Structure 1
Amino acid sequence: MRVFDMAAVHAALPWPFLIEALREAHLGPVPSSEVVVQSDPAGGEAQFVTLPGWAPGGPIVVKMVGVFAKNAALQPPQPAVQGLVVLFDGTTGAPLLAADGAAMTARKTAADSALGSLLLAREDVEDLLIVGAGALAPHFAEAHLAARPSLRRVTVWNRTAARAEAVVAQLRAKGRDATVGKDLDGAIARADVVSCVTMSDKALVRGELLRPGTHLDLVGAYLPTLREADDTALSRGTIFVDTRINMKGGGDLAQAVTSGAITWEAVKADLFELVQGKTQGRTSANQITVFKNNGGAHLDLFTASALSRTLG
C-alpha cells in the first residue's frame, strides 16, 4: 500500500489532470455513498466525519476527517479539515493507498468547483474573485485558473485583510496577477467568476451586484445555518449543483427555499447530468450561473481513483 503525504498528493494531482479525471468519472453512474457525522461529545463545535463511497464494480473509498473551524486561528494555522482518505480494491477489499485528508479535500473540493466553472462559466471570463482567505483559497484560485485559462486577474477579499494579503502573496509568487480586494461589493460588481470559500453565517454576495454573465461558485455553506449569497443571487441565477444527493443540506439553497425565493425545482442539473449531456448548461452570454459545491464521498472516490492512476 502506498502512502501519500500532503506534498505528494499536491504533486501527483495537477489541476488539469484532476479536473479532467473528475469530468471522466461523471460519465459513469453515481457511486453509493454514506455520511456519518459525530459531534464533539464535550459540546464543542468540532465534528468528525466518516464518508464511505463505493463505485459499482469499482473501488471503495473511506474518508475520515475532523472539521475544526477554529484551526485557522491557531499559531501556526492548521487546515480546518484534516484526516485520511483510504482507497480499497472493490473486488478483494485490499487497501491500495492512503492519502493526507487535508490535501485530498483541498484538491477534490477545488477541482469540483473548477469543473463547474469549465462547464458553466463563459469562455471569455477574465476577472476572478475569491471570497475568503482560508487554507482552501489559493487552491481554488489555481483550480479556476486552470479550468478557465482566459482568467487574467485574481482578487482576494477577506474580512481580515492580512489573511487576504497572505493568499495574494502566494499567488504572486507563482506569477499570478493578484490583488487584495478592499471593497467586497465593488469586487463582486467587476468579477466574471465569483468563488466563495468561507464559513460565513450571513450572505456576503448581494445578488443585485452580479453582472449579467457572471458565474457564481458557492462552496462554504455546508450547514443549514451558513450562507454566502442572498436570495437575490439565487433567484437571478440559473442554479446547478455538483450532486443532488447532498444539495438540501447547505444553507444557501435551503434558506432561499425556506424564504420562498426559489423552489428545489429551480436546480436545473448536477454535474452528472451536465457531463453526460442530459441537460444543457449555460445558454447565453448574459445568463448568471450559480454552482453549489456540496461535496460528497463520490468526489473523494473519484479523486483517490485518479491518484491511484499515478502509481503506474
Structure 2
Amino acid sequence: MNEIVQIPEEFIEKTTDFKSLIQCLKEAFRKNVTTVPMRHHHDFPNPEVGEDSTLLLMPAWNPSEDAGVKIVTVSPANGQFDLPAIQGTYIYLDATTGSIKALLEAKSLTAKRTAAASALASSFLSRKDADSLLMLGTGALSANLITAHCAVRPITKVYVWGRSLAKAQKVVDTLCLPKHIRVEAVTEYRSLVSEVAIISCATLSKLPLVFGCDLVSGQHIDLVGAYKKDMREADDEAVQKARVFVDTFQGGLKESGDIVLPLSTGVLQREEVLADLFELCGKGHQGRETTAEITLFKSVGHALEDVSAAAYYYGKYTNEK
C-alpha cells in the first residue's frame, strides 16, 4: 500500500501561484468532465455557543483520473475561541483503486481555490482596466481574494474593511504584493464603494453590506460569503442593477440568500442569472459585454474546484520529493 501523503497548510501557502491555479480551474470548468453530486449540507445545533454549525461533504470524481471528498465544518462563533470559522480536511483519492493518495489541510485549500474561482470569474466579468478593489471582510479568505484579483487585473489600490480595524490592518500586514499596489485598512467603506472598480465581499453577514444605491456603472461585485439561505451581502437593488452570474447553477441557485431570497420574492428571475463558470470557461457566454454594465458574481463553492486544486498541490508536492 502506498504511503498517504500529508500536505500541510504551510506547503499550500508557500507554493501557491494564483495565475497557474486560476488556469488549472479554468481548464477544469472548460473540459467539464468531473462528476460532482450535490454537496451534503447539514446544519447542527451548537448549544455551547448558541449558534448552529454546518457540516459540508463535497465529493467529486473524474473516472480513472482524480477523485476526492472534502469534509468541512463552518462554525460562525469560532471567533470567541480565536479559531477560523472554517475547519476541515480534503481526502484526495486514486480514482482507479479508491486508495487514499493524500490528505490536505482543507482551510487553506478552500481559501486558495475559492479566491482563484472569484478571480477566474473576474477575468470574464470585471473591466480589463479595473485598477482598484474594496475588500469587505477580514477572515482567512480576504488576503487570498486580494492577491488572486491582483493576479488577473492591473490593480494599484486596495482598501480593506472589517468590523475591527485591527483585523483589517492585520490583513494588510500579511499581504505580499508588488510595491506599486497600495493597500489601506479603512474604518468606513460606503463612501469608497463608488470609487472602486471591484468590490469583493467575504463575510458571515446576515444583513446586506453592498447596497445598490452606492453602485456606479462599470463595477464588478464579487460575493463570496453568505453561504446560507438566511445570509446576504448585497441588497435587492444591487441585484437588480447588476447582470448576475454564479459559480455553478447547481449550488448558486439554491444555497445562498444573495440569490435565493431575490428569486423567492420575484426581485430576480431565474433567466436573469445569465451564466455559470462552466459556460464562461466553455465560451457559452462571453461575460461582460460593455464597459458600463455592473456585473455580480455569487460563489458558494464547488467540489470541482476542490479536486482540481488538490491535484494541483499534490503534483507540486510529489514533484518536490
**Do the structures match in fold with TM over 0.5?**
yes
Alignment RMSD, CA only?
1.7
Q: Is the 8 A contact 1:133 1:163 kept in 2?
A: yes
Cα offset for 1:39? 3.4
Deviations 1:60-89, CA, capped at 9 Å, x for gaps:
111011211122332xx3221111101111
Query: Partners in 2 of 1:260 and 1:144 — Cα distance?
Result: 32
1:183 and 1:296, CA in 2 relative to 1: closer, same or farther beyond 3 A? Answer: same
Query: Partners in 1 of 2:128 and 2:157 — Cα distance?
Result: 15
The residue that corresponds to 1:212 in the other structure is 217
1:178-217 matches, within 5 Å, as 178-217=183-222
1:133-152 matches, within 5 Å, as 133-148=138-153, 150-152=154-156
1:208 and 1:32, CA in 2 relative to 1: closer, same or farther beyond 3 A? Answer: same
1:225-244 matches, within 5 Å, as 225-244=230-249
- Where 1:27 maps in the other structure, the secondary structure is helix
- Where 1:280 maps in the other structure, the secondary structure is coil
1:41 and 1:160, CA in 2 relative to 1: closer, same or farther beyond 3 A? Answer: closer
The residue that corresponds to 2:74 in the other structure is 67
Deviations 1:160-201, CA, capped at 9 Å, x for gaps:
222112212223787441112232211111110000000110
Does 2:126 align with 1:127? no
Deviations 1:83-123, CA, capped at 9 Å, x for gaps:
11011111111212111011111111111111111121111
Of the candidates 47, 59, 72, which is equivalent to residue 52 of structure 1?
Answer: 59
Query: Partners in 2 of 1:285 and 1:170 — Cα distance?
Result: 33
- Where 1:54 maps in the other structure, the secondary structure is strand
Identity value in percent: 33
Of the candidates 248, 251, 256, which is equivalent to residue 246 of structure 1?
Answer: 251
Query: Partners in 2 of 1:231 and 1:163 — Cα distance?
Result: 29
Cα offset for 1:34? 3.6
Of the candidates 307, 310, 314, which is equivalent to residue 308 of structure 1?
Answer: 314
Does 2:18 align with 1:12? no
Query: Partners in 2 of 1:120 and 1:39 — Cα distance?
Result: 33
Letter in 2 for 1:32: V
Letter in 1 for 2:60: G
Query: Partners in 2 of 1:42 and 1:117 — Cα distance?
Result: 36
Query: Partners in 1 of 2:22 and 2:221 — Cα distance?
Result: 18
The residue that corresponds to 1:160 in the other structure is 164
1:188 and 1:82, CA in 2 relative to 1: closer, same or farther beyond 3 A? Answer: same
The residue that corresponds to 1:287 in the other structure is 293
Cα offset for 1:42? 5.0
- Where 2:31 maps in the other structure, the secondary structure is coil
- Where 1:201 maps in the other structure, the secondary structure is coil
Q: Is the 8 A contact 1:226 1:251 kept in 2?
A: yes
Query: Partners in 1 of 2:244 and 2:66 — Cα distance?
Result: 31
Q: List gaps (5 residues or longer) in structure 2.
A: none
Q: List gaps (5 residues or longer) in structure 1.
A: none
The residue that corresponds to 2:99 in the other structure is 94
In the superposition, the TM-score normalised over structure 1's length comes to 0.94
- Where 2:69 maps in the other structure, the secondary structure is strand
Cα offset for 1:209? 1.3
The residue that corresponds to 1:39 in the other structure is 43
Cα offset for 1:23? 0.6
Query: Partners in 2 of 1:255 and 1:38 — Cα distance?
Result: 20
Does 2:266 align with 1:260? yes
1:71 and 1:287, CA in 2 relative to 1: closer, same or farther beyond 3 A? Answer: same
| Of 34-43 and 154-163, the range deviating more from structure 2 | 34-43
| Of 21-30 and 233-242, the range deviating more from structure 2 | 21-30
Query: Partners in 2 of 1:41 and 1:20 — Cα distance?
Result: 39
Q: Is the 8 A contact 1:27 1:276 kept in 2?
A: yes
Letter in 1 for 2:103: A
In the superposition, the TM-score normalised over structure 2's length comes to 0.91
